[in-house]
Each structure stands twice: as structure tokens, then as C-alpha cells.
Amino acid sequence: MLRFLFRRLVWLAITLLVVMSVSFFLMKNVPGGPFDGERKLDAQIEANIQKKYHLDWPLWRQFAHYVGPFNLDDERALLASGDGGLVLWRSELAEGEPTTAFGGVLAGDFGPSFRYKDFTVNDILAQSLPISMLLGVLSMMFAIALGVSAGIASALRPGSGIDLSLRLAATAGIALPNFVIASFLVIVLVFMLPLLPVAGWGTIRHMLLPGFCLGLVFAAYIARLTRTGMLETLSADYIRTAHAKGLSSRTVVMRHALKGGLLPVVSYLGPATAGILTGSLVIERIFFIPGTGSHFINAATNRDYTLAMGVTILFTVLVYVLNTVVDMAYTLLDPRIDLEDE
């Protein structure tokens, strides 16, 4: 298990490095910059801004400064000569001048946001990530509860009316985009029956509608996976043995079949969680939720280089960690799988 974790960690580092370099250079190659607006700026003012945000540096230096761990800022860094070049040691460090040797992602600093100038990327992620996670967990709990029970109900009586209607509902859930469902629910639950707040973030009542809409499509997938998994498990020999031993069918399903039947669902949870986190953009917009999903897109359109990089790195780590957790959960559910064999 430890060797497995270590190996995963090494791969995470490699993945991150690749993701960082590719997205950094891709982004810098897209036309337009963070400070371009309807009003074109005077050349000197534009140069002043570029300088302030180090956009006048060659790309390699911007990248090295961004990744760290050495801070390459002209004013304060140990490695800067003060006139734009790099030196091995800052030669003429004035008396009492503060220096900042370390910086960049490797030092845990994602830099200042170019768009939201009052915040660092760290601030923004720290504010929005818990909100997205909470929303994600809520919709995931919802998706699992609904999906698994529907899947089991379907699998117990395949071909029955219940099975058919649940499968139909699941297909509809997959086919309907969540903003359609959201609009429909807003009309019914906010304007026709004033039960829930229309948008915003704060109390648990604010989370119900977005959580439901976000989870619905995943509930549908989970229902289908559960059904397939359960059908397969229910026909397995050990289930027949359990029945033969005289266990009640409730015990057989809940204690024996479910464990095996849920394996496909567990493997789906990793990608599903990633999907919920990155796919919450539309729901965040409709329900006016200050989560990370909207930064994922807005930072790119605003050319907020640092924020876009920060969100990308964060999501890479999250997806990677979640997949690892899922793999570990596998071994807990299925004794036939051993991580050391990988």
C-alpha cells in the first residue's frame, strides 16, 4: 500500500509538471492579454502595466518565476540584479532592503490574480473551493442515494414496470442538460410554490436546488451502473450459496450482493467527482454561487493567467487524489484486488 502511494505521488509530480508547462505556454500563446479592454491604452501606460505584472519578461523567466521555488522579482529577489537580469546572488543588496528568496507554486504561492487585483490566487481558491466542495459533496450524496436505490430496485425485478420506468427516468436524466432542469425547478419551486430562495449562497436552503440539479445527471449514471453491477452479482455463485444457507433476501442483497454490485459505481465516483467540480459552472451561474467552477472558465476568458493556472493545478491535484482514493476504496470493497499487483 505504501509503495503504491509513493508511486502515485511520483506520477502526480510528473503529471503536474506537464500540466503546468502545457497550460502555461498554451495560454500565453492565445491572442489578447489580461489588461486588454474595449479602450486601447496609451503605449507607455500599457508598458507600465506590463512591467508591474512582469509580462515584459521573456516567457522562460515568467514560467520559472511562476513555478518557483525561487522568486525572480527584480526588486526583492536574491537572484535578480535589479536591472532586469538574473545573477547567482544579488550583488548590490542595499542596506536593510527586504528580500524574498522563495516564491512561485513550489513555494505554495500561486501569485496575484490579474483580474481581481485585490486578491491573490490563494485567497480566491481558499474562498471558493470549500463552497464548491460542499456543493459537490451534497450533490454527490444526493446522486448516490437516489442512484443506488433506483439501481437496486431496478435490478431486483428486471423487466418489471418499476425497472422500465426507472430506466426511462435515468435516460431522461442523462439526456436533459442540468440548466433545463434548473430552470424548470426554479419556475416550480420558487415562483409557483415559493418554497426555496431563487439564488445565492448562505443557508442550507440555498444549497438544495443547485445540489439537486447538479447531482441529477450523476444519479442517473449511478442508477444504471448499480443496476448492471447488481444484476451480475445477483447471479453469482456466492449469492446462490447465501440464499441456500437460508439468509433473508434483505440480508443477501444488503450485506452480500451490494458490496460486489457497487464496484462499478465506486470506480465511477472518481470521474464523477471531477465532473461535478469542473462542471458546476452552469449551475454556479444560474444559482449565483461563488464557487471554483466559474473561475475555471472565466479566468481563461479574462486571460487571468495566474488564476487560470491555479484552478488548473488545483483540479489536477483533486482529480488525481480522488482517483487514488477510489483505487484504495476498491481494495476495501473487493478482497480480490491488491494494490501491490499494479
Partner 1 sequence: MALQRVLRQFLPVLLLGAVLGAAVYATRGARLEPADFVFNNGTEVQTLDPATVTGVPEGRAIRMVYEGLLVSHPETLAPLPGMAERWEVSEDRLSYTFHLRRNALWSNGDTVDADDFMWSFERFLDPRTAAEYAYMLWYVTGARAFTTEVEDGRPRNSFDTVGIERLDRWTLRFQLEAPCPFFLELMAFYPMFPVCRRAIEDMQARFPDTWEKEWLRPENIVCNGPYTVKFRRVNDRIRFEKNPRYWDADSVAFETVDMLAAESYTTSLNLYLTGECHWIDVPPANVIQELRSREDFDPIPYLGTYFYRVNVTRAPMDDKRVRRALALTIPREDIVETITKAGQVPAYTLVPPGIAGYGGASMPRNATFEEDLAEARRLIEDAGYGPGGKEFPTVEIHYNTSDAHRDIAEVIADGWAKHLGIRAKLANQEWKVYLDTQSNLGYDVSRSAWIGDYADPNTFIDLFVTGGDNNKTGWGDPRYDALVQAANLEADPVKRFELMSEAEAVLMEELPILPIYYYVTQSTYSPRLGGYFANVKDEHFPKFWYWMDDEELAAKRASYPAENFERVKTSGPPKGLYPPADPRSRTDSKAGKRKVVRTTEGD
Among the listed residues 118, 192, 245, 246, the single contact to partner 1 using CB under 8 A: 118
The cell for 278 is 469542473
Residues 244-303 binding partner 1 (CB under 8 A) are 285-288, 290-291, 294-295, 301-303
Which residues, 6+ apart, have CB-to-CB distance to 217 below 8 Å? 173, 174, 176, 178
82-101 positions binding partner 1, by CB under 8 A:
83, 98, 100
User: In terms of CB distance, is 153 or 201 closer to partner 1?
Assistant: 201
Query: CA-to-CA distance for 154 and 162, rounded, in angstroms?
Result: 6
Q: How many residues contact partner 1, by CB under 8 A?
A: 71
- Can you tell me which residue has the cell 434548473? 182
Phi and psi angles of residue 32, each rounded to the nearest 5 degrees, phi first: 90, 150
Please tell me whether residue 108 binds partner 1 under the rule CB under 8 A: no
- Residue 174: CB minimum distance to partner 1, A: 24
9 lies in the site for partner 1, by CB under 8 A: no
Q: Which stretch binds partner 1 (CB under 8 A): 155-163, 186-194, 222-230, 248-256?
A: 186-194
Q: Considering only 13-21, 166-174, 202-210, 238-246, which stretch makes contact with partner 1 by CB under 8 A?
A: 202-210
Residues in CB range of 336: below 8 A, 6 or more apart:
none
Judge contact between 303 and 33, C-beta under 8 A: yes
Mark the segment that binds partner 1 (CB under 8 A) among 9-17, 26-34, 210-218, 270-278. 26-34
Q: How far is the CB of 255 from partner 1 (least distance, A)?
A: 16
Type and span of the H or E element at 22: helix 2-29
Number of C-alpha atoms within 13 angstroms, CB side, residue 34? 23
User: Is the separation of the CB atoms in 288 and 190 below 8 Å?
Assistant: no
- Looking at 10, 26, 31, 193, which residue binds partner 1 (CB under 8 A)? 31
